[in-house]
Chains A and B, each alone.
Chain A
């Protein structure tokens, strides 16, 4: 009896915008000029925030910060595909996701300034807090999605994580369950090339991270993570599929972290300047700008006004952040349990 192929998979790759800002008309997602401007403004805002946060850290006005520069298209494009009421589960670098989802910037600074209250999303925003341990929020996202399915709610859940997360058991266990129970979740992997200093090639022998989804029985797709239209297109398809009850999707956004892993990292120890320069040429904000110029959506005047407006917004956020009074000791007693225990009340008195 001859051997035969009983199953084979194709891993798709999606790019809409090339490095020069030409868009493939057939692949272009449905977006009005107003929406494109909105995406652009978000990306510019996030970059301004990111630059400012880095400076604040260097000035001793902020704690350790993880820069998102270079990954704006991945974060904005995916989060923009969600609607109000959907939930996000961000990882440490995902300030771009949180800003897209309306998390107040001064609160993000507050969080990075060492105040948990900064992660308390204002009522009406379904943003889960940043999870610092790698990949551990993936099963949590799956569980929340499964609960939504049980309750027949129209809610999609999106988790964000890096390439390094795909090596962890939580990734496997979370995606495996998501596949079996066909939960309304979208898993967005921001493959930025490095897990701190470990290059992607040493993370897994698999040629793509997207292909891992097929082992769990659902679709995985790789997209150009510096192409806002490709990310948005894949994400909005995945979100629509999840909303329809057709189960989860894994989206691998191939992108690049332009700065070090964090404000404590020296990336020159593990990668060349030349490599970083090559990726600068694929910059997601520049690429969108080129497209908008070509399509007469962006004028110099508009660009200048966006630069000014976003800078002002960031300055205002810094001002608000530095005005926040420090938390009180009672806070850590109050939030340990839903109701403080007698023992905690005693310990509070001892302070």
Chain B
């Protein structure tokens, strides 16, 4: 599939779209990508719990069953692992399935098929087959979502060779990366954040792909680099506004794709700013931040003027209480605090960071 790669990249994740440009919400962007992929390619279909019910997975599949028929857009028996296997089989047989999970927490139930099969069939078949499967899954908080319905498990999948993992934060990227994932010959874990669904931004009507593995600079700056993943890109933008008032100028990098990771973009930024903070939606221990920190320590250590900091959730299950959620999830406040802390530090400073 050859789609044009759009060169237009928003410099900011949040805020109003440029005047006169077509705007869509994140959920509309996802729906448009699915509809366009299905329209053009009869091999594309959408399956998963709730894709053809009135809720339509937070509205992201609304109207697709009516438009393309229930043979191509259908709910499945509750059998996450088995259905994943069935989608792998369909992909091997030449289809391009999009499997949708309303929560990323359902992926642990399909871990065997994803890790032992989707990620390995090409390898074990001596390269004769590919598994062009896209698995959409949703992370993020919401009162009551709690420990089993809100987990940011991206690091688990980034760890697995053979898989790709993307986490779009803007409507523009949501559409471009979903089209890229469907077109990709490899299994892609496509991670969406609930809090992004209502965000709106520039989304071109025509089809385009964002290359998987290419990050984007959301804001140029000179004092510190903040690598901000998924929803954290918004928190970083908020932090930047506040820091600007204090004369601090941060550079925000949204990697968009965690595997493969655009580490060159991060290295270049760190070489310029000398300071690195990674803000992730997941846990700290062995999280994506750890991998990014390790790569920078390995390839750009000499440029660092301060220790690398990770902003992530505490290594505990997600609390259910609304009050505790506020404490649990990192926000722009944490980014502001950490940036200021780093600006006063030397690389060997032993002072511990609070989170």
Contact = CB atoms under 8 A, between A and B. Distances in A.
A177 B94 contact: no
Interface string A313-351: 000000000000000000010111111011100000000
B211 to A, nearest CB: 11
B85 A150 contact: no
Contacts, number: 138
Contacts of B314: none
B85 A170 contact: yes
Contacts of B76: 177
B83 A147 contact: no
A129 B77 contact: no
Given A147-B90, A342-B213, A119 B126 contact: yes
B93 interface: yes
Interface stretch (A29-37, A138-146, A204-212): A138-146
A146 B95 CA distance: 10
A136 B86 contact: no
11 contacts: A120-B125, A120-B126, A133-B112, A139-B85, A147-B94, A147-B95, A151-B93, A170-B82, A173-B83, A335-B123, A336-B162
Interface residues of B, number: 44
Interface of A: 87, 116-121, 128-129, 131, 133, 136-148, 150-151, 169-170, 172-174, 176-177, 180, 332, 334-339, 341-343
Nearest to B164: A337
Given A136-B112, A173-B81, A336-B161, A145 B89 contact: yes
Contact of B85 (A138, A145, A334): A138
B88 interface: yes
Given A120-B128, A336-B123, 12 more contacts: A129-B125, A137-B85, A139-B89, A146-B86, A147-B89, A151-B94, A172-B79, A172-B82, A173-B79, A177-B82, A336-B161, A336-B162
- Most A CB within 10 A of own CB, among B45, B81, B86: B86
B334 interface: no
Nearest to B45: A150
A133 B161 CA distance: 18
Nearest to A89: B89
Contacts of B92: 128, 140, 143-144
Interface string B267-305: 000000000000000000000000000000000000000
B87 interface: yes
A148 B112 CA distance: 24
A139 B116 contact: no
Contacts of B95: 147, 150-151
Interface in B63-110: 71, 76-77, 79, 81-95
B123 A116 contact: yes
The 7 closest A-B pairs by CB, nearest first: A173-B82, A143-B89, A120-B126, A139-B85, A143-B86, A338-B185, A147-B93
B124 A119 contact: yes
A176 B123 contact: no
B130 interface: yes
A336 B93 CA distance: 19
A174 B86 contact: yes
A87 B94 CA distance: 13
A104 to B, nearest CB: 13
Contacts of A121: 125, 128
B113 interface: yes
A106 to B, nearest CB: 14
Nearest to B88: A140
A36 B295 CA distance: 64
B200 interface: no
B123 A338 contact: no
Contact of B81 (A131, A170, A180): A170
Nearest to B109: A169
A174 B162 CA distance: 24
